[in-house]
């Protein structure tokens, strides 16, 4: 591989506090050799291959901490190849895949399979998460130590929440020993049982059973209490309500150390978008009120929320073309994560640097992986974007195998133009 020279881009690397016009050199091994304003046309070899990126922004490839892939078991919804294509077109170069497959990723023999498939079929970096409990049943914990040695960097039951408090305390206790990252989907199963959408006026009007914000809050409160006894790397996957944000804010102010995430859907949409039973907006946690949404935006701004994820959950048409109660939960979104987040920049809700850090260096730091930054010597995983380019979301143009986007026909501002993985162009918009 020849050295590549990218010049004249606005380079934003929140971790190294870089926001300047400059260039980047990719060495022969696909690593970052130099970056910043010193890299200009004048100090490059005359005969070299130079790409001028005028008017584009160069950022680290995104790290999406919550993505579902259908392998194994649900290949008809998404496989590694289609996930990879979708992610690359959204500037995402690293993902944490959820263990809710069939069979569940809960033992070391599965890990080799996943790593092999991920390596052979996809161009992005796939970091599989293993489940917290066997078969995500919430009864028996998995082998954090052995799985960790195989390269598993995070543990979560994905769409499920560990209910048994005794088990959860053991999990956190052992995780503090093995230094494992625990990611909780905070939802009390009994309170949310049968619930479809946020408990409120909309659920009353649509006649759908509600999921109260309390279902999320009491699990967060419980786990934060455990955290005082068993200090481990604890991450709340998705926050959805003001009530929980308040708890998180207070705990962080008191000095408790843990991290939190939010889905781009909860950050950009609210329960009114469900309209006339749109099943593509049936999500977990559910979309809540506009007030809740605003408190999530504030949470990103004030640091209560560390990470923004796509919560990409591909579902085939047959799982969604049902009554709201019977339809599958979740929305596809890995390829629209960044454009939808840019909406929050354009409408002045969140600063650009904040948005980018919550999708690059923040998740990388939590996961302890060498991604999400433009550090010299790192793999050149890069995303190039035109921050003003207008476009419209169309199901038919999505790369994901499933087309269950919650933002069909939405007018967007900002589009990914090129994505590099390990120094190679892996996606280029024509």
Q: How far apart are CA 137 and CA 160, in angstroms?
A: 8
**Nearer to other proteins (CB atom), residue 156 or residue 203:** 203
| 427: β partners | 419
Q: How far is the CB of 153 from other proteins (least distance, A)?
A: 40
> Applying CB under 8 A, does 218 fall inside the site for other proteins?
no
CA triplet 428, 78, 133: central angle to 5 degrees?
A: 125
Angle between helices 242-253 and 214-229 (to 10 degrees): 20
* Residue 381 · residue 371 · CB < 8 Å: yes
Please select the residue that binds other proteins; options are 64, 106, 157, 199, rule is CB under 8 A: 199
> Applying CB under 8 A, does 321 fall inside the site for other proteins?
yes
Under rule CB under 8 A, how many of the chain's residues touch other proteins? Answer: 20
Stretch that binds other proteins, among 56-64, 93-101, 125-133, 323-331 (CB under 8 A): 323-331
Place of tokens 């904040």: 354
**Nearer to other proteins (CB atom), residue 320 or residue 371:** 320
Please select the residue that binds other proteins; options are 17, 166, 253, 276, rule is CB under 8 A: 276
**Nearer to other proteins (CB atom), residue 191 or residue 364:** 191
Stretch that binds other proteins, among 85-93, 208-216, 225-233, 407-415 (CB under 8 A): 208-216
> Applying CB under 8 A, does 214 fall inside the site for other proteins?
no
311 has catalytic annotation: yes
* Residue 310 · residue 68 · CB < 8 Å: no
**Nearer to other proteins (CB atom), residue 324 or residue 391:** 324
Instruction: Cis check for the bond before 426: say yes or no (omega within 30 of 0).
Output: no
E-state strands within 224-371: 233-236, 259-263, 307-309
> Applying CB under 8 A, does 206 fall inside the site for other proteins?
yes
> Applying CB under 8 A, does 306 fall inside the site for other proteins?
no
Stretch that binds other proteins, among 47-55, 146-154, 207-215, 332-340 (CB under 8 A): 207-215
**Nearer to other proteins (CB atom), residue 167 or residue 206:** 206
| 392: β partners | 411
Q: What is the DSSP string of 112-140?
A: HHHHHHHHHH-SSEEEEPBPSBGGG-SSS
> Applying CB under 8 A, does 322 fall inside the site for other proteins?
yes
> Applying CB under 8 A, does 387 fall inside the site for other proteins?
no
**Nearer to other proteins (CB atom), residue 118 or residue 406:** 406
Q: How far is the CB of 218 from other proteins (least distance, A)?
A: 17
The residue annotated as part of the active site, out of 199, 292, 311, 379, is: 311
Stretch that binds other proteins, among 168-176, 200-208, 265-273, 379-387 (CB under 8 A): 200-208
Give the contacts of 378 (CB within 8 A, at least 6 positions apart): 31, 32, 370, 371
* Residue 332 · residue 314 · CB < 8 Å: yes
**Nearer to other proteins (CB atom), residue 30 or residue 200:** 200
Stretch that binds other proteins, among 37-45, 48-56, 196-204, 226-234 (CB under 8 A): 196-204
Tokens of 179: 């230094």
Q: Considering only residues 324-343, where is the footprint of other proteins by CB under 8 A?
A: 324-326
> Applying CB under 8 A, does 201 fall inside the site for other proteins?
yes
Q: How far is the CB of 410 from other proteins (least distance, A)?
A: 21
Taking alpha carbons only, the member of 163, 97, 164, 100 closest to residue 135 is 100
Helix (H) or strand (E) holding 63: strand 62-67
Give the contacts of 163 (CB within 8 A, at least 6 positions apart): 138, 188, 189, 190
Taking alpha carbons only, the member of 26, 114, 13 closest to residue 426 is 26
Q: Which residues are catalytic?
A: 311
Binding footprint of other proteins on the chain (CB under 8 A): 199-201, 203-210, 276-277, 318, 321-326
């Amino acid at each position: 591989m020849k050295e590549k020279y990218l010049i004249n881009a606005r380079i934003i690397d929140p971790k190294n506090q870089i926001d300047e016009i400059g260039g980047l050199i990719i060495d022969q091994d696909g690593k970052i050799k130099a970056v910043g304003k010193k890299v200009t046309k004048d100090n490059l070899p005359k005969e070299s291959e130079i790409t001028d990126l005028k008017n584009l922004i160069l950022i680290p490839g995104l790290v999406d901490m919550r993505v579902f892939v259908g392998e194994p078991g649900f290949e008809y919804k998404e496989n590694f190849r289609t996930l990879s294509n979708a992610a690359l077109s959204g500037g995402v170069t690293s993902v944490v895949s959820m263990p809710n497959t069939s069979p569940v990723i809960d033992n070391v023999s599965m890990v080799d399979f996943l790593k092999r498939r991920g390596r052979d079929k996809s161009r992005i970096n796939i970091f599989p998460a293993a489940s917290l409990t066997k078969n995500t049943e919430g009864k028996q914990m998995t082998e954090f130590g052995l799985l960790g040695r195989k390269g598993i960097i995070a543990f979560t039951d994905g769409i499920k929440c560990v209910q048994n408090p005794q088990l959860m305390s053991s999990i956190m206790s052992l995780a503090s020993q093995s230094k494992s990252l625990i990611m909780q989907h905070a939802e009390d199963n009994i309170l949310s049982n049968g619930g479809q959408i946020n408990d409120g006026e909309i659920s009353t009007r649509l006649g759908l059973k509600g999921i109260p914000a309390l279902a999320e809050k009491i699990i967060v409160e419980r786990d934060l209490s455990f955290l005082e006894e068993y200090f481990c790397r604890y991450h709340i996957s998705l926050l959805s309500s003001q009530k929980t944000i308040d708890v998180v804010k207070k705990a962080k102010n008191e000095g408790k150390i843990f991290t939190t995430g939010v889905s781009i859907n909860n950050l950009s949409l609210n329960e009114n978008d469900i309209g006339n039973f749109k099943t593509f907006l049936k999500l977990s946690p559910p979309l809540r009120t506009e007030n809740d949404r605003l408190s999530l935006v504030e949470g990103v701004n004030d640091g209560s929320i560390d990470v923004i994820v796509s919560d990409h959950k591909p579902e085939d048409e047959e799982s969604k073309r049902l009554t709201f109660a019977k339809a599958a939960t979740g929305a596809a979104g890995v390829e629209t994560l960044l454009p939808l987040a840019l909406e929050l920049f354009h409408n002045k809700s969140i600063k650009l640097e904040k948005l980018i850090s919550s999708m690059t260096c923040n998740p990388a730091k939590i996961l302890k992986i060498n991604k999400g930054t433009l550090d010299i010597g790192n793999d050149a995983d890069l995303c190039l974007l035109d921050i003003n380019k207008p476009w419209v979301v169309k199901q038919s143009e999505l790369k994901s195998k499933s087309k269950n986007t919650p933002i069909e026909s939405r007018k967007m501002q900002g589009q990914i133009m090129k994505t590099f993985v390990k120094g190679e162009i892996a996606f280029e918009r024509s």
